[in-house]
Chains A and B, each alone.
Chain A
Amino acid sequence: MTKSILLVGVGGQGTILASKLLTTGLMEAGYDVKMSEIHGMSQRGGSVSSQVRYGEKVESPVIELGGADILISFEKMEALRWLNYLKPNGKVVVNDFEIGSAPILSGKADYPKNAIGILEDKVKTTVISASSEAEKLGNPKVMNIILLGAIIKAMGLEEINWDKILRDNIKEKLVEINLKALKVGMNLV
């Protein structure tokens, strides 16, 4: 049975590294894996998604509407934007973090006031403060690895040797803090 993980956020938040580590781990564990991203315009700050699918044999590289088992959102409003890609009985893990878009920054629109409430009303939602947890660890950039830890726990993928995956793919001086971040994320779900 193919499983689908949808990672969404805002350009620059590190969704690509998180999904790269995730797919590498899944491949080394023996799964067939496909991942899809849409990128083109290089400007910062757009809505971004990484779609990861794994199983015995994966056909489509993209997740179908209503097809994701889990939606991991690095930003609150993006969780709402992508909600219709989630299975109605799927899970949401959302980072309690806001990034305004152009209409919001210019005062023409308001950031959705109750994004988390809307999510919780419709679907099993876990809210985690990955950004503030990352700051506690001393590097705000490890937010994405905390969220990766949350995905691993939520999808029951703890058996994979993530220590090795991180050591193989992250600069040596950053390995330790990222391993800590991964554990923090796993304990938050």
Chain B
Amino acid sequence: MKKLMTGNEAIARGAYEAGVRYASAYPGTPSTEILENVALYKEDIIAEWANNEKVALEATIGASMAGARTLAAMKHVGVNVAADPLFTFAYTGVYGGLVLVSADEPGQHSSQNEQDNRLYAKAAKIPMLEPSNSQESKDFTKIALEISEKFDAPVLLRMTTRVCHSKGIVECQDREEREIIPYKKDINKFVVVPAVARKLRVKVEERQKKLLEFSNTTELNFFEWNDTKVGVISSGVCYNYAKEVFGDSVSYLKIGFSQPLPTEKIKEFCTKVEKVYIIEENDPYIEEQVKILGFNCFGKDVFPAYGEMLPEVIRQSVFGETMPTLNYDEKEVVARPPVLCAGCPHRGFFVQLGKRKNVMVSGDIGCYSLAFAEPYNAMDQNICMGASISVGHGAQKVFDLVNENKMKVVSVLGDSTFFHTGINSLINVAYNKSNTVNVILDNRITGMTGHQENPGSGYTLQGEKTEELNIEAIVRALGFKNVVIINPNDLTAVKNALDWAISLDEPSVIITRWPCALKKFSPEDKEEFKNLFTDKYSVDAEKCIGCKACIRTGCPAISFDNEAKKSTIDYNACVGCSVCSQVCPVKAIGKVEK
């Protein structure tokens, strides 16, 4: 059966066909849809959202030890979080096959950096595969599980955004059931005290030699011989980009199995072709190996060191020009930046926080990162998941060293980010007697990645009702005495909470609690939050004085007519959060009577 699938859907299908029994992930673009699709095979695979990537990988390690084939998925920066278990599981090896999917982001479409996770496979000395399209995404997932069991190692499946999110035709097969391997205690394999680990370390090198032999013989690494004046060595979707530009006019070495790299095949290729281009995204991973082998090649000296190696980038780099294009005055086109949605529960909070002087707003990763921009200007920095509270803590300690200092840190993060790693940071705040203001923006869901359940939402990935973590109880148990829960759409409540928290000499926690306007509301949401986005507001043009106070809430449902000097609200876009009506100085905005 043929189906059009994204690379992410194809990985899920591959896991299903290969008999995977357990999978775990933390959502992150461009990897999120992998587990969402695995979760659809409800009868055959347990699929879970873990609260962070380290936990996800560790859970799959346990599943492997207990004898099942298993898969973990995460975005590239998620592997940083999971790196600790990865580097040691790389020593112990597996029982059931384990695939770790790393979805890298050349071009940083939705990411804070552009790290090349192929270097993780090299550093951890584990096998790696790089699919270039949807069919390979499925096939390589199955092959990766076989390699994992054959060579006794976790396998890194390295995806990139375009492979994850592009659709292609995939030939599907049936599932092959695999018996769970009966559990066998083996302390010389899995207990990594130094005496054992030193022996495992030797085995890793022996495995690396076997993998090199495999890399040089497997059909995953293949030649396409055409004219030998020019040769291209490439992996992943870059191979398709290169074929788009060069077609059959050059020869190719396509690398599908890339840790370790196929040194003998590289030597053969570089000996036969006159001029070698290395086309790869992110770091010069293949290029460095080619140079170590003593061959001249063109790589990052010709192609950009960063961004995607799209066909136009290759064409520009090699031939000095792109294909002809139609040009026009770019000033004619106005930017369309992402904005907080109409009804976003973060809006009310940041409208108030942005007014504060002498605060450092320590930000985090989520929709609320947009608070850095106009019209809120309410964020000073953000680094990575969960960092707001700990970075804020360190900053406050130094601010307090300066006499007469008035700087106060307000750290902000979302509910899912709090469960991810923010909770660790908050322990540090309590333990080290900080006095920061810590804000948990609880919108009842993992928002930015497209509404995934989390430990606070009351539901699992596969739709089961589960224990809902009580953020207030957790925070109080950590030792916080100053805790308040507010509705972020109530601007007075937000202002009062900030006044109170900033005035304290002790640490505090403000929990804002209101669901994301785009969320599919659960029965519990409907019970707890009355009139969820059912109201509509409008501007009374006669009363409107054109002061733009409502415009400065950044709501996309409100627009300003420069000629009439009046604001209007798009009835269909408004969901009735009422923030604009609260900021209007002349009460020109009111609820539409039903």
Name the interface residues of A73-117: CB closer than 8 Å to any CB of B: 77-78, 80-81, 83-88, 100-107, 109-112, 115
Let me know if B29 and A100 touch, CB within 8 A. Answer: no
The CB with the most chain A CB atoms within 10 A, among B109, B161, B237, B332, is that of B332
Residues in B with CB closer than 8 Å to A38 are 109, 161, 165
Let me know if A45 and B341 touch, CB within 8 A. Answer: yes
Number of A-B residue pairs at CB separation under 8 A? 179
Let me know if B324 and A88 touch, CB within 8 A. Answer: yes
Residues in A with CB closer than 8 Å to B559 are 100, 104-107
Let me know if A27 and B375 touch, CB within 8 A. Answer: no
Is A24 located at the chain interface by the 8 A CB criterion? yes
Let me know if A34 and B165 touch, CB within 8 A. Answer: no
A180 to B343, CA, bound (A): 35
Let me know if A43 and B244 touch, CB within 8 A. Answer: no
A41 to B548, CA, bound (A): 27
Is A178 located at the chain interface by the 8 A CB criterion? no
A58 to B367, CA, bound (A): 36
Residues in A with CB closer than 8 Å to B338 are 41, 43, 45-46
Task: From A61-69, A129-137, A144-152, A153-161, give the one contacting chain B.
Answer: A61-69
Residues in B with CB closer than 8 Å to A40 are 29-30, 109-110, 448-449
The CB with the most chain B CB atoms within 10 A, among A46, A47, A106, is that of A106
Let me know if A27 and B2 touch, CB within 8 A. Answer: yes
Residue on B nearest A57 in the bound complex, by CB: B243
Residue on B nearest A75 in the bound complex, by CB: B336
B-side binding surface: helix, strand, loop or mixed? loop
Is A36 located at the chain interface by the 8 A CB criterion? yes
Known contacts A38-B109, A109-B334; is-contact A64 B244 (Cβ 8 Å): yes
Let me know if A39 and B332 touch, CB within 8 A. Answer: no
Residue on A nearest B310 in the bound complex, by CB: A62
Is B294 located at the chain interface by the 8 A CB criterion? no
Is B260 located at the chain interface by the 8 A CB criterion? no
Residues in A with CB closer than 8 Å to B324 are 66, 87-88
A160 to chain B, nearest CB (A): 15
Let me know if B169 and A66 touch, CB within 8 A. Answer: no
A37 to B161, CA, bound (A): 10
Is B432 located at the chain interface by the 8 A CB criterion? no
Let me know if A65 and B312 touch, CB within 8 A. Answer: yes
In this complex, the interface size class of chain A, counting residues with CB under 8 Å from chain B, is 35 or more
Is B47 located at the chain interface by the 8 A CB criterion? no
19 A-B interface contacts by CB (under 8 A): A27-B4, A33-B167, A36-B162, A36-B165, A37-B166, A40-B30, A40-B449, A43-B340, A60-B237, A60-B241, A60-B311, A61-B237, A65-B312, A66-B323, A67-B311, A80-B332, A87-B324, A101-B336, A106-B554
Residues in A with CB closer than 8 Å to B341 are 43-45
Residue on A nearest B516 in the bound complex, by CB: A42
Q: Per-residue 0/1 for B335-350: is the Cβ within 8 Å of any A Cβ (1 yes, 0 no)?
A: 1111111000000000
From B168, B312, B333, B554, A81 is in contact (CB under 8 Å) with B333
A117 to chain B, nearest CB (A): 10
Is B451 located at the chain interface by the 8 A CB criterion? yes
B365 to chain A, nearest CB (A): 12
Is B551 located at the chain interface by the 8 A CB criterion? yes
Is B556 located at the chain interface by the 8 A CB criterion? yes
Let me know if A61 and B518 touch, CB within 8 A. Answer: no
Name the interface residues of B545-578: CB closer than 8 Å to any CB of A: 548, 551, 554, 556, 558-562
Is B133 located at the chain interface by the 8 A CB criterion? yes
Let me know if A35 and B335 touch, CB within 8 A. Answer: no
Let me know if A80 and B328 touch, CB within 8 A. Answer: yes
Known contacts A38-B109, A59-B244, A112-B332; is-contact A102 B337 (Cβ 8 Å): yes
Residues in B with CB closer than 8 Å to A87 are 323-324
From A23, A62, A81, A86, B326 is in contact (CB under 8 Å) with A86
From A64, A78, A107, B311 is in contact (CB under 8 Å) with A64
Residue on A nearest B327 in the bound complex, by CB: A84
Let me know if A59 and B333 touch, CB within 8 A. Answer: no
Given known contacts A27-B169, A80-B333, A106-B554, what 6 new A-B pairs fall within 8 Å (CB)?
A: A43-B340, A45-B339, A58-B168, A80-B328, A103-B337, A106-B560
Is A127 located at the chain interface by the 8 A CB criterion? no
Is B393 located at the chain interface by the 8 A CB criterion? no
A186 to chain B, nearest CB (A): 23
Is B208 located at the chain interface by the 8 A CB criterion? no
Name the interface residues of B443-459: CB closer than 8 Å to any CB of A: 447-451
Is A170 located at the chain interface by the 8 A CB criterion? no
From A32, A41, A118, B448 is in contact (CB under 8 Å) with A41
Name the interface residues of B155-182: CB closer than 8 Å to any CB of A: 161-162, 165-169
Name the interface residues of B278-320: CB closer than 8 Å to any CB of A: 310-312, 315
Residue on B nearest A26 in the bound complex, by CB: B4
A21 to chain B, nearest CB (A): 11
